A and B are shown apart, each in its own frame.
Chain A
Amino acid sequence: MSGGKEIKGQISSIKNTQKITKAMEMVAASKMKKAQMRMAAARPYAKMIKNVVGHLASAHQEYRHPFLVKRESVKRVGLIIISTDRGLCGGLNTNLFKEVLKKVNDWNNQSIEVDVCAIGSKAEKFFKRLNVNLVAQVSHLGDSPEINDVIGSIKIMLDNFTDGNIDELHLAENKFINTMSQEPGIIHLLPTEPNKEDEFSHHWDYIYEPDSKSVIDNLLVRYIESLVYQGIVENVACEMSARMVAMKSASDNASNLIDELQLIYNKARQASITQELSEIVAGAAAV
């Protein structure tokens, strides 16, 4: 019986792998629920601050914040990339990086340089190898990221924008559509063009305390932060669901493989028995 033992060994090692993927699938499934809840919890803030910034855009007349002014020539852009810390989550990061590379090539063709802020260790590792400038980095935010942890990185990008080092700021993130699908995309953060609301057609303005400049500065920084934070929370939900799906298909593939190997093993076993029998019969006939 040739190779019977090897096949047995293969089957048992695949079974072990399957146990791991099964466990990871279940862990990801339970984490996914929490991550989705967190994503939903972060939504009201993003919605509210968007409203307020929208009001502001339709209200304000005399002071234009630099974040709202479009620059005429774009020489250097900033890009914030949100990725996961850990792998084994299907093509989630790869798809996003592909999208980013396409965009970066576009920019390079227009001789625009790119400054990168990497969030998550996968992005850090990937962009270290590329011809881009990594200016800020934050990783290991865990499953429940806090806005506190990303303020610093965002501030670097915003300061660069205010100082004129970069003329645009973009955010590359995965959009959570549903458990089965996540879509990578790059959104434009700065200069921002908040949606103006048409319901306020007459001229009006806020009372600003202490003064309009500091209030608007303050608010716009928070607006950008909230967009990035929302992206991070969404990315965690994407990661968990992508991992769950990837691990589920890995477990399924493992059981298919085991079935096939089992079949091969049985055939080999049967062949060896048949052979033995025919040898005995032949032996008996000779006597």
Chain B
Amino acid sequence: MSTMHLDIVSAEEEIFSGTVKNLSAAAIMGEVGIFPKHTPMITPLKPGEIKVTTENDEEMLFFISGGVLEVQPEVVTVLADTAIRGEDLDEAKAAEAKKRAEEALADKSDNIDAAKALAELAQAAAQLKMIETLRKKSK
């Protein structure tokens, strides 16, 4: 039986690297099973488990909180997210980073260009709002 190379990596560490016979993962459109010589495919993954059969017929399970699956005939790569992602969550994080910038500017003693930067920030806030409403409409 033929085999393929599998790498599961997250931004913070390498999780698995080795030769496997097959794997199944929770792709965004549903469960997928990948065997060697699969046609090239790329798809986001849902939070869930990845089931791997290694070349020694051992079963291994990995839990990932989302990511991307890339399939090449001989090589499969899973780019796992360590962070819990989602449009809304990312939005919240963006808002937080902006708030910090605001605070940083607030404790500045001579604020000639702070005013300018604040105007810039207000603009950015408006944009963020617009993105949100657009998203709501499209939902």
Partner of A210, one of B29, B113, B128: B29
CB-CB nearest in chain B for A149? B93
Contact residues of A: prevailing secondary structure: helix
Residues A52 and B12 in contact in the complex (CB < 8 Å), given A128-B108, A204-B40: no
Shortest distance in angstroms between A82's beta carbon and chain B's nearest beta carbon?
A: 14
Contact A52/B68 with A41-B13, A148-B83, A208-B43 known, Cβ cut-off 8 Å? yes
A-B contact count (CB 8 A): 145
State which of A38, A115, A139, A207 has its C-beta within 8 Å of the C-beta of B40: A207
Instruction: Please tell me if B94 contacts chain A, counting CB pairs below 8 Å.
Output: yes
Count A-side interface residues using an 8 Å CB cutoff: 52
How far apart are B89's CB and chain A's nearest CB, in angstroms? 8
Contact A209 B94 (CB under 8 A): no
Which residues of chain B from 93 to 107 have a CB within 8 Å of any chain A CB?
93-98, 100-101, 104-105
- Identify A147's interface contact among B12, B100, B127, CB under 8 A: B12
| CB <8 Å contact, B68 and A218 | yes
Please name all residues of chain B whose beta carbon is closer than 8 Å to the beta carbon of A204 when the two chains form the complex: 40
The residue in chain B whose Cβ has the minimal distance to the Cβ of A119 is: B97
Whether B44 pairs with A225 at a CB distance below 8 angstroms is: no
Q: Say which size band chain B's interface belongs to.
A: 35 or more
Interfacial residues of chain B within 1-47, with CB under 8 A of chain A in the complex? 7, 9-14, 17, 27-29, 39-44
Bound-complex Cα distance A206 to B124 (A): 36
> Do A45 and B27 have beta carbons less than 8 Å apart?
no
Among the stretches A6-14, A155-163, A276-284, the one at the interface with B is A155-163
- Chain B residues positioned under 8 Å from A42 (CB to CB): 11-13
What are the residues of chain A within 8 A of B133 when measuring CB–CB?
A: none
When each residue 194-215 of chain A gets 1 if its CB lies under 8 Å from chain B and 0 otherwise, what string results? 0000000000111111100011
Chain A residues lying within 8 Å of B105, measured Cβ to Cβ, are: 128, 134
Whether B104 pairs with A207 at a CB distance below 8 angstroms is: no
A-B contact pairs, 27 of them (CB 8 A): A41-B14, A44-B14, A49-B79, A55-B70, A118-B101, A118-B104, A134-B105, A135-B98, A135-B120, A136-B94, A136-B97, A138-B97, A138-B100, A146-B12, A146-B82, A147-B12, A148-B84, A152-B90, A156-B124, A159-B127, A205-B40, A209-B28, A209-B41, A209-B42, A222-B68, A226-B11, A229-B11
